[in-house]
Structure 1
Amino acid sequence: MAKAKITAGRIRDLTLPPGKSQAFLRDTDAPGLAVRATAGSKSFIFQAQLLDGRTIRTTIGDVRAWDIDKAREEARRLQLQVDRGADPREEKAARLAAQEAEKVRAEAERTAAAERQKYTLRALCDTYVDHLATRDRRRGAASARSAFKRHVIEAKPDIAALPASEITPHHVAQIVRRVIEAGKDATAATVRSYLSAAFNAARRAPFDAKLPAALIAFNVTTNPVEPIATIPGNVRNRTLSAEELRTYIKALGDDPVDMALKVALFSGGQRMAQLLRATAADYDPATRTLRLFDPKGRRTSAREHLLPLGPKCAALVAPLAEKAKSTPAGLLFSSFGTRPMAETTPGKRVVEIVRDEKMVPFNLLDVRRTAETMLAGMGISRDTRAQLLSHGIGGVQDQHYDRHGYADEKRAALIAWERRLDEIEKGIKPAGNVRQLRRRSKTAA
């Protein structure tokens, strides 16, 4: 190993002897400092003998990256470690390990910060709404989106920006309490219900293949809504009198919105959301039967809901179905024949009628309640009303054992209902109760 004061010129002139893989130039100013030349590179190195007699060698750095004076300073620092009985290589390994650990820690912090910003309560609400929409629950998805937007995201943006996994019952209580203090108990109950459903879905997602995998990343293990007391909703009991119902019927015209309201009423008070999805293919003119689909409850697919219409309602639906055949969407009730009528449009029309006729306010649910109340008063049985209005049909008996179609009972009820509406419209007192059809024996031919 040649020995001389290291200079830039000597570093430049250092070459490999023939047949050698490396060459060294040892510095005379700093003990242990040298330049090592190999094929294609030159580096500052430090070489010394430890107190136990072992010779060590460690690289300081490339000559293009290190100033000579800085290299001498580093060599003296390393020599001081040797003089104290330490191995500079161990110190270097520890330092590099610490740097790598710091790099890993910093990356973990960046990842955690990114996840905190990505998997927030707001994002959970959006993901849950998307889940509802993909399950063909457009009305539920729209309602949930509206509740989240108004009472969570806009009302409590600081809470909505927190990671969903860090939401506590105290956060949920703040959200719900604000709605209650505004005097909106029913809305508060709805907000609480949707939040609970969203957290439950995220909590079950890792173990339920029917739930979207996107919910798993929120890392929700508990439902912070559970400790929040349920909020009793305001039970509506508004029903229309015969005089109010007559005013309502007379106010309905022949435009598409009013036709939807007429069909909903004359078919026994059907849910508007289901009725607006009906197409020309859902009406059978031979049997005067209208087919709707009921997605409510925990069904995996919508239940077929058949309505054997009375003559007056059939006369309303038949031309609608015939006209719908020539439209792109094929819907009985649509906007310009191209897209479904908005579910809120008929409700807005009811508000107009209430205003124009100076009536006590009511809504479509009140009309549906009125229809069932009057059907009950006419002697229509609870079972037939349940089948006719498609509610409360989800138990084990209904799903697996009771296969009776109730077609005769439903048709008789709707014919009787049309007679009753005709009496109301003409101001005639009811003729009396409907005689119930006896159910056919399951063993009958």
Structure 2
Amino acid sequence: MAIIRAESLRALCIGQTLTESVPGRGNGAILFERVPSGLITATYRYSDLGKRKKFRIGIYREKNRDDGLTLNEIRERVIQLAKTAKTHGDLSQYYEGIKRKQELLILEEKRAQELLAARGTISDLFEDYLNDRLDKAESIDEMKRIYKKLLENNPEILNIYAAEAEPWHIKQLITPIYNRGAKIMAERTRRFISAAFNYGIKSENYIGRPCSKSYNISSNPAVAITIDRVERKIKRALSEEELSKLWHTLELTDRVGPIITMLIKFIIATGGQRVTPIINSEWPSYDLENKIAHLHHSKGRGGATNKRDHPVPLNVYATEIMNEMYRINGGMKRPWTTRNNSTPISLSSLKNAINRWLQSEHAFIGDKRIEPFTARDLRRTCTQLMAKYGIDDRSSDEIQAHGIGGIVNDHYRNNPMMTLPRRKKTMVQWQEILERVILV
């Protein structure tokens, strides 16, 4: 087979072919063919394991302005193909394999870029955790406040990838809080961070998780942090005289409004109920006709996903307070609010009201200022007064929703409404105790 010239190729009619051998023994040949479209195609024809095979090279460029390959470019290309065929055999399979590898590399690179873009920072992790806890944690406002402060004071740390967080990063977040003397807040912050990282470790296996961020956290860096603090045993309880003074003078205190005053009185009147269930409850929870507050608790195993009913009979004091609250906030979504959108009174507002009273001229017994206390201490005060005046521990625990978890209560004593007669009796006794204490 002679060497083909350009003139010979241009003379080809549709369906005609020309063949040119590739230099070297057994290297095959180039097949030129004029196809119906008028173009001349070039195909490499070779032998692999005794079988004749073809591999398309491309289009022969007849004119300079046309697309395709020149005759010399086709020959050079075929020489390389012949070498490849001797080494790798079937050219179609060989180049298809290369193509698949290239496509796989492109996909892997794309996936790597997507993973990099989806990598979550510590800030992303905290926000993801808070969004997951919106309907589950009663302390969500406190968590949000902690996160906001961390972001304000340490943006450079919160912007690193969560997977790269180490104990020393967490230490940097917490140490300034500890150094200003807020040891309890430092521990709360550590617990928040630890809970968020625990969530991040597990969350990526949750089906249906709305967040697309990937954390790839291998271990919780907050677990290694220990905060040295002196545990303060909480023993504060108000004396009868202190409780009476608070009841009668709280509303006289500057910057303590009537709603917050009645909230504190309601806590006392109902035997020291937990604050959060009270302020979160909407009006339908307060049955003023039957004089029952249907509160709900998420203490104990199961948390907020397993809220438990806690009916509280309303005695005379509590009923009078709720009737007054209905007069003030009857048109709101819930009684315990000072905002147009009916959001609950914040725990900080309750704390501020007590502190303002403690700093006022009313917080004195004789010439001695009353020692500080918190809303939690009011609950303890009620417990101790019940014990002092003869209410047995079981009745006291029942009215304050102590021990509401456990197998027996969950599976056998799981209808609190059946205990209403006993609870009403307890509240009558508590009413008599309050009359004795407050009216002295």
Instruction: Give the structure 2 partner of residue 320 of structure 1.
Output: 325
2:375 and 2:89 map into 1 onto residues whose CA distance is 86
TM-score in terms of structure 2 length: 0.73
Aligned equivalent of 1:107, options 107, 110, 116: 110
Match of 1:143 in 2: 142
Give the aligned partner of residue 58 of structure 1. 55
What are the equivalent positions in structure 2 for 1:69-88 lying under 5 Å apart?
A: 70-79=73-82, 81=84, 87=89
Counterpart code for 1:186: I
Query: Please, which moves more after superposition, 181-190 or 35-44?
Result: 35-44
Partner of 2:187: 189
Q: Distance in 2 between matches of 1:123 and 1:351?
A: 36
Equivalent residue, structure 2, for 1:397: 408
Q: CA deviation at 1:57?
A: 3.0
**AA partner of residue 185 (structure 2):** T
Q: CA deviation at 1:205?
A: 5.8
- Higher mean alpha-carbon deviation, 253-262 vs 224-233, is at 224-233
Letter in 2 for 1:339: S
Q: Does structure 1 residue 307 correspond to structure 2 residue 307? A: no
Aligned to 1:353: 357
Deviation at 1:339, TM superposition (A): 1.1
Residue-by-residue CA offset, 1:206-232 (whole Å, 9 max, x unaligned): 8889x9676996566765554545776
CA distance in 2, matches of 1:356, 1:15: 111
- Give CA-to-partner distance per residue, 1:164-200, whole Å, 9 cap, x none: 5x65556555545564455433223223333443444
Number of the residue aligned with 1:433 = none
Give 1:366's match in structure 2, choosing from 366, 377, 383. 377
Q: Structure 2 counterpart of 1:147, which letter?
A: I
CA–CA distance in structure 1, aligned partners of residues 175 and 402 of structure 2:
32
Q: How does 1:243-282 map to 2 (within 5 A)?
A: 244-249=242-247, 250-252=249-251, 255-282=258-285
Provide the rounded CA distance (Å) in 2 between the counterparts of 1:43 and 1:373: 104
Of residues 230-239 and 263-272 in structure 1, the stretch that sits farther from structure 2 once superposed is 230-239
What secondary structure does 2:296 align onto?
strand
Assess if the C-alpha contact under 8 Å between 2:279 and 2:344 holds in 1: yes
In 2, the alpha carbon distance for the partners of 1:388 and 1:280 equals 20
TM-score, normalised on structure 1?
A: 0.72
The code of the aligned residue for 1:150 comes to: K
Post-superposition offset of 1:415: 0.6
CA distance in 1, matches of 2:30, 2:152: 65
Give 1:411 deviation, angstroms.
0.9
Corresponding position of 2:124: 123
Aligned letter for 1:334? T
Is the 2:237–2:381 Cα contact (8 Å) retained in structure 1? yes
- Paired with 1:362 and 1:100, the residues of 2 have a C-alpha distance of 69
Which structure has more relative contact order (CA 8 Å, sep 6+)? It is: 2
Equivalences for residues 326-337 of structure 1 within 5 A? 327-329=331-333, 331-335=334-338
Give yes or no for contact 1:276–1:341 (8 Å, CA) kept in 2.
yes
**Partner in structure 1 of residue 299 of structure 2:** 296
Q: Secondary structure at the match of 1:305?
A: strand
AA at the equivalent of 2:428: A
AA partner of residue 351 (structure 2): G
Work out whether residues 334 and 340 of structure 1, in 8 Å CA contact, stay in contact via their aligned partners in 2: yes
Amino acid at match of 2:318: C
Write out per-residue CA displacement over residues 107-137 of structure 1, whole angstroms, 9 at most, x where no aligned residue. Answer: 2312321332xx44433332322222123x3
C-alpha contact 2:238 2:381 (8 A) present in aligned 1:
yes
Q: Secondary structure at the match of 2:139?
A: helix
Helix, strand or coil for the counterpart of 1:161?
coil
Deviations, residues 331-384 of structure 1 (Å, cap 9, x unaligned): 222335651333233333333333444765443233333333444444443333
- What are the within-5 Å matches in structure 2 for residues 220-231 of structure 1? 223=220, 225-229=222-226
Counterpart for residue 423 of structure 2: 407
Structure 1 residues 88, 36: closer, same or farther in 2, change over 3 A? farther
Secondary structure of the equivalent of 2:312?
strand
Per-residue CA deviations over 1:140-159 (Å, capped at 9, x if unaligned) read 22222333343378536445
Corresponding residue SS for 2:154: coil
Structure 2 vs 1, CA of residues 15 and 368 (structure 1 numbering), >3 Å: closer, same or farther?
farther
Distance 1:279-1:113 versus aligned 2 partners, 3 A rule? closer
User: How far apart, CA to CA, are the structure 1 residues paired with 2:88 and 2:317?
Assistant: 102
- Give the aligned residue type for 1:59: R
1:401-440 to structure 2, matched below 5 A, reads 401-402=412-413, 404-405=419-420, 406-423=422-439, 428=440
> Which range moved further: 24-33 or 105-114?
24-33
Matched, 1:95 2:98: yes
Q: Which amino acid aligns with 2:310?
A: H
The whole-number CA distance in structure 2 between the counterparts of 1:93 and 1:421 is 92
Structure 1 residues 375 and 175: alpha-carbon distance in aligned structure 2, compared to 1, 3 A threshold: same
Aligned residue type for 1:321: Y
Distance verdict in 2 for CA 1:3–1:324, change over 3 Å: same
- For 1:38 and 1:377, locate their aligned partners in 2 and report how far apart those are by CA, in whole Å: 109
Deviation at 1:162, TM superposition (A): 1.6
In structure 2, relative to structure 1, the CA distance for the partners of 1:328 and 1:245 (3 Å cut) is closer
* Residues in 2 aligned to 1:310 and 1:162: alpha-carbon distance in whole angstroms: 55
Identity %: 18
- Structure 2: where are the runs of 5+ without partners? 61-65, 364-368
Aligned residue in 1 for 2:63: none
1:382 — aligned with what? 393
Show CA shifts across 1:398-436 (max 9, x none).
33445644414431342134224414xxxx4xxxxxxxx
SS, match of residue 280 in structure 2: coil
SS at match of 2:324: helix
